[in-house]
Amino acid sequence: MDGGTIYALGTPTPSRWAPGALSVIRLSGPRAAEALIFLTEPHAFERGQSAREPALPEPRRMVVRTVIDPRTLEKIDRGLVVWFEAPNSETGETMAELHLHGGRAVVNAALAALATLGFCRLAEPGEFTRRAFEHGKLDLTQAEAIADLVYAETEQQRRLALDQLDGALHRLYEDWRTLGLRALAHLEAAIDFHDEDLPEGVDEEVRSGITRLRTDIADHLGDQRGERLREGLHIAIIGPPNAGKSSLLNLLARRDAAIVSETAGTTRDVIEVHLDLGGWPVVLADTAGLRASADSIEQEGVRRAKARAASAGLRLLVLDATSNWKKAMAELTAPTVRWDAQHDIVVVNKVDLARAEGAGVVPLSAKSGAGLPELLKRIERSAGLLMEAGAAPPLTRARHREALVEAEAALGRALAAPEVALAAEDVRLAMRALGRITGTVRVEELLDVIFRDFCIGK
Ligand SMILES: Nc1nc2c(ncn2[C@@H]2O[C@H](COP(=O)(O)OP(=O)(O)OP(=O)(O)O)[C@@H](O)[C@H]2O)c(=O)[nH]1
Ligand SMILES: [Mg+2]
């Protein structure tokens, strides 16, 4: 990659069946404004350089122009164009945009016209965002937030991505780094001033600062909200055979995702569907009925059901109203399966056949749909409690987690270090790990991976 002028279609590639009303082509780089002149001023390209000055509209002001092929002077489309002067643009470079009609022929002709100029090239995936990072317009967490925003499917995912784009995570990690660097400065001062006899261990005040920082990082690591929001909250439907678990999955998914039958022990594998429940992204899993069985396949199903119950963020225990469901409830919750009384939900199904009352349980008929609104409300409430708790921005990526684990361990070593010089080295390592998250330290090897994440229409 070089610092030349690049261009790309910023909107999805129009297909024959679904052209868009609009397509936007973006340019970035030193000759972006020049390219704009050549595509909008007849004969400017032949005249060359001298055409630069007069024809440019005011920066940041959209104007209507006929877009032409600079060599043949063939008209391509009429659209809106705008340009931005460096460094006041998204990438920090001179940028231009062509807002054209969204047909395939229009877009192809405009892209071909740009290619004939000879001094700009198609951008690599993610190159615009990469340039914004390189010019200090974004840090790495914000660059990742752009990808998250583009891929956000639910309201809550969108909010999380937007907070991160606004710099919520950047501020958190940079504040920590500032605290760590301050502690490091103290440690280094101690080393410098005690040339001959180094003080043993770390000064009490610095020690408590490092301890607090380490605790904050550990708390942040224990917080699963962000990952749940990006990947979806895992909800496991569990319960005895034949209670209506698969029926409930199908009801929530609004399709026949799982087989329903009166034969107890129908479901064996874990069946997953992805849903949006009240703005929360959810991965809902139907599981095998929990019972002792001689059938080895069913035993494996029960093992998987328990494993899923243990790993899920939220559990729906489905019981059969026509059975002794209170007894089943007592038997099936902890220790048989993991149970979190504050968030997990007991559903008593088949209330069209038998009445069911009990504190906190949700009566339901998966057959008629009665009770579904109340169940949805309860799921949304639990999901909200699980994901919203706490004001600090949540951890969102495995990449961040890795660096934070490293930082936390290094701070732990610093606290146990027998000598100030060793402690300082560990604090320095911890700060380097934090710096890797935001991109404050050299991160070349990370960049390609991160920026490849988002490339619309590719
Ligand atoms: N009357 C009535 N029947 C229901 C209701 N929900 C499910 N059933 C019936 O109960 C039987 C079992 O339903 P499933 O959804 O397959 O139950 P399951 O819990 O997935 O069963 P396994 O996979 O065998 O563990 C089927 O015959 C359903 O039609 C309900 O609300 N009312
Ligand atoms: Mg089933």
Q: What is the pLDDT of residues 12-51, one digit of tens each?
A: 999 888 888 999 999 999 999 999 999 999 888 888 755 4
pLDDT at 455: 45
Q: Which of 284, 216, 217, 191 is nearest to 245 (CA)?
A: 284
pLDDT at 441: 62
**Do 135 and 89 meet the contact criterion of CB atoms below 8 Å apart?**
no
Name the more confident of 109 and 448: 109
Q: Which residues contact 417 (CB under 8 A, 6 or more apart)?
A: 201, 202, 423, 426
Q: Confidence band (pLDDT; 50, 70, 90) for 446?
A: very low
Q: Which of 212-221, 298-307, 423-432, 444-453 has the lowest mean pLDDT?
A: 444-453
CA distance 430 to 288: 45
Q: What is the pLDDT of residues 227-284, one digit of tens each?
A: 888 888 999 999 999 999 999 999 999 999 999 999 999 999 999 999 998 888 899 9
Ligand nearest to the CA of 289: 1
HSE, side-chain direction, 13 A CA sphere, residue 42 = 6
Q: Whose CA is nearest to atom 30 of ligand 1?
A: 350
Ligand nearest to the CA of 290: 1
- From ligand 1's centre to the CA of 335, what distance in Å? 25
Task: Among 245, 247, 262, 347, name the best residue to mutate to test ligand 1's pocket (greatest count of ligand atoms within 8 A of Cβ).
Answer: 247
pTM given for the model: 0.75
Q: Which of 2, 5, 3 is nearest to 95 (CA)?
A: 5
Q: Which helix (H) or strand (E) holds 76?
A: strand 75-84
Ligand nearest to the CA of 366: 1
How confident is the prediction for the chain on average, in pLDDT?
90
Q: What percent of the chain has pLDDT over 70?
A: 92
State residue 273 phi and psi, 5-degree precision.
-130, 145
pLDDT at 58: 93
CA distance 199 to 375: 62
Q: Confidence band (pLDDT; 50, 70, 90) for 111?
A: very high
- The three-state secondary structure class of 315 is strand
pLDDT at 18: 81
Q: Which of 280, 284, 260 is nearest to 270 (CA)?
A: 284
Q: Which of 110-124, 178-192, 267-281, 317-331 has the lowest mean pLDDT?
A: 178-192
Q: What is the pLDDT of residues 345-395, one digit of tens each?
A: 999 999 999 999 888 999 999 999 999 999 999 999 998 888 775 567 889
CA distance 283 to 292: 27
Q: Which of 65, 57, 53, 118 is nearest to 83 (CA)?
A: 57
Q: Confidence band (pLDDT; 50, 70, 90) for 173?
A: very high
Q: Between the CA of residue 241 and those of 245, 287, 364, what are the distances in Å?
A: 8, 10, 17
Q: Whose CA is nearest to atom 17 of ligand 1?
A: 244
Q: Whose CA is nearest to atom 11 of ligand 1?
A: 262
